[in-house]
Amino acid sequence: MKRNIVKVALVIIGTLVGAGFASGKEIYSFFFVYGKTGILGMILSSAIIGYVIYKVFKICNENKIDTYHDFCELIGNSAGNKKLTLILNNIVNIFLVITFFVMIAGFSSFLKQEFNVNRIIGSMLIIIVCYFIFLNNINGLIKISNYLIPILIVFIVCISLKNTEVLENFDRIFNGYIAYFSPR
pLDDT means per 10 residues, the chain with 184 residues, are 68 67 65 81 87 89 85 79 81 84 81 87 90 77 76 71 60 56 56
The C-alpha angle with vertex 150 and arms to 32 and 36, in degrees rounded to 5, equals 15
pLDDT one-digit tens code per residue, 48-97: 988 988 898 899 889 988 887 888 888 878 777 778 888 888 888 898 88
Burial (CB count within 10 angstroms: exposed 0-12, middle 13-18, buried 19+), residue 149: buried
